[in-house]
Amino acid sequence: MQEQISQIKEKALEAIQNAKDAKELDEVRVQYLGKKGELTLILRSMGGLSPEERPVVGSLVNQVRDELEAKIEEGEKSFANKVIEERLATENIDVTEPSKKMTLGSVHPITQVVNDVKEIFIGMGYQIADGPEVELATYNFDKLNTPPDHPARDVQDTFYVTDDIVLRSQTSPVQARVMETQKPPIKVICPGAVYRSDSVDATHSPVFHQIEGLVIDKNISMADLKGTLEMFAKKCLGEKTQIRFRPHHFPFTEPSAEADVSCFVCGGKGCRVCKGEGWIELLGCGMVHPNVLRNCNIDPEEYSGFAFGFGVERIAMAKFGIDDMRLLYENDVRFLKQF
Ligand code: DAH
């Protein structure tokens, strides 16, 4: 039997030597060491041996099995290495090959304007405030001194979620939210999306963006409002920009005004951008109405303030010479790449 074992060993070693790949090597393993392998069968047939022979044969078989297993493992490793070497040889990287062009996005014109405006006001000591887009009607209207029969409350103008909840139609409700949670002095701007029940055309969209401003402190006057907006207009639209105020009405300010800027394209002579007027309407503003202060628990005898609000799209369109608002929302890369 020892003779038979050493023959099996020789045959197996030769087969291991001759195996051409991992698969053939595995076949050798099955043939000799598998459940029905030649060496395994020897172990199984040991029952017929004498008690003296059994341990001798047993240990010989184990020794041979260990040896074969080691050789097979060695072979497997070298086949695995060969595969890697072959891949390394064939898959070499040409580092001189020109790379694929990376396309970088750009900041959307609306975001650019918002960022510029934020920068200007942060420079004047303002903080950025935020409020919900799905807003209580109380904040959108009542706290802002807007009477129950005001046309802006009409369902034709404002999107109602329920009788008491609206999609905010202006960023002005953030004024009330800030006044209720912060003590004066207050200096904030609030950029954000607003919603109105408008059909889409070149100058209207049911979703657009506004930036609200609010300053509350002791002894704030209309002169502070004017100086602030003048400074802002020059920084945002160019140092030569002039500003003018026209009386207007807003429920939440008294007095109220609309502010125009001299056309930054023609300098006021009249052109396509200002439609021959020389002036471009910029924003609504005024001194915060005492009722609004009272509604937000601020004593109008002690404090006063100003507020303003303007549309971001309008500025972006004028600044970048965009004549159709829809272009700002279509997100056509060919359009956006230009800014
Ligand atoms: N909320 C106004 C609008 O959407 C704009 C506005 C006017 C805001 C006067 C103000 C303001 O803060 O004082 O038309």
Q: How far apart are CA 134 and CA 194, in angstroms?
A: 9
Is pLDDT of 46 > 90?
no
Least confident of 40-54, 158-172, 180-194: 40-54
Mean pLDDT computed over every residue of the chain: 93
Looking at the DSSP bridge assignments, the partners of residue 165 are: 136
| pLDDT classification of 8: cutoffs 50, 70, 90 | confident
Is pLDDT of 9 > 90?
no
What is the pTM assigned to this prediction? 0.72
Pocket test for ligand 1, best of 172, 198, 281, 304 (most atoms within 8 A of CB): 172
Between 93 and 288, residue with greater pLDDT = 288
Asked whether 339 and 327 are in contact (CB, 8 A), the reply is no
Closest ligand 1 atom to the C-alpha of 286? 13
Report the pLDDT averaged over residues 21-34. Answer: 89
| pLDDT classification of 99: cutoffs 50, 70, 90 | confident
The protein residue whose alpha carbon is closest to atom 4 in ligand 1 is 170
Between 21 and 218, residue with greater pLDDT = 218
Q: Shortest CA distance to 173 belongs to which of 200, 135, 129?
A: 135
Is pLDDT of 242 > 80?
yes
| pLDDT classification of 125: cutoffs 50, 70, 90 | very high
Looking at the DSSP bridge assignments, the partners of residue 244 are: 260
What pLDDT shows up at residue 327? 96
Closest ligand 1 atom to the C-alpha of 212? 12
What pLDDT shows up at residue 37? 87
Pocket test for ligand 1, best of 250, 306, 313, 315 (most atoms within 8 A of CB): 250
Q: Give residue 309 CA to ligand 1 midpoint distance, Å.
A: 4
Closest ligand 1 atom to the C-alpha of 252? 13
Q: Give residue 193 CA to ligand 1 midpoint distance, Å.
A: 14
Q: How far apart are CA 262 and CA 265, in angstroms?
A: 9
Pocket test for ligand 1, best of 121, 170, 187, 246 (most atoms within 8 A of CB): 170
pLDDT more than 70, % of the chain: 100
Q: Give residue 310 CA to ligand 1 midpoint distance, Å.
A: 7
Lining ligand 1 with CB less than 6 A are 170, 172, 212, 250, 253, 284-286, 307-309
Report the pLDDT averaged over residues 95-101. Answer: 88
| pLDDT classification of 309: cutoffs 50, 70, 90 | very high
Report the pLDDT averaged over residues 120-149. Answer: 97
Looking at the DSSP bridge assignments, the partners of residue 300 are: none
Q: How far apart are CA 45 and CA 5, in angstroms?
A: 12
Question: Residues 161-178, buried b or exposed e (16+ Cβ, 10 A)?
Answer: eeeeebbbbbbbbbbbbb
Which H or E run contains 55? helix 53-90
Q: Give residue 224 CA to ligand 1 midpoint distance, Å.
A: 17
Q: Give residue 50 CA to ligand 1 midpoint distance, Å.
A: 108
Q: What separation in angstroms does the CA of 223 have from each of 124, 176, 219, 232, 245? A: 16, 23, 11, 14, 12
Half-sphere exposure of 331 (CA within 13 A, CB side): 3
| pLDDT classification of 2: cutoffs 50, 70, 90 | confident
Q: How far apart are CA 338 and CA 57, in angstroms?
A: 87
The protein residue whose alpha carbon is closest to atom 3 in ligand 1 is 170
